[in-house]
Amino acid sequence: MDRVALRGLKARGHHGVFPREREEGQTFIVDLVLSLDTRPAAADDDLAKTVHYGVVAEEVVDVVQGEPVDLIETLAERIAEQCLKHDAVREVEVVVHKPDAPITVPFDDVTITITRSRV
């Protein structure tokens, strides 16, 4: 499989288990690796035979900005489901970063990484 990667998609969401996270929201950053066969698109130079990563980026931002969930695991799952709605995408790796997680010690980032594929 070939891979199309989108790194550093940023959106504000209201996800988390604490009231402050739900009320104030915070920035989430998403990295994606979409696995697909790009040969048909390359052979015909045809966008319709691949995945439009601009559309995927907008959809991912909509998910992050959408209905709040408690866990970033749930958010990552929703993002993966959205990506797999694109016919060309056979597998997706989703990394959700929560750099402003409510942790009481110094840290750089919190992430969840999941991989989902068509069944």
Q: Is 93 helix (H, G, I), strand (E, B) or coil?
A: strand
- Phi, psi of 105, rounded to the nearest 5 degrees: -120, 160
Whether 58 and 43 have beta carbons less than 8 Å apart is answered as no
Chain length of the chain: 119
How far is CA 84 from its chain centroid? Answer: 11
| CA end-to-end span of the chain | 16
Alpha helices for the chain (secondary structure H): 19-24, 39-44, 53-65, 72-83
Q: Would you please indicate which residues are annotated as catalytic (active-site) residues?
A: 98
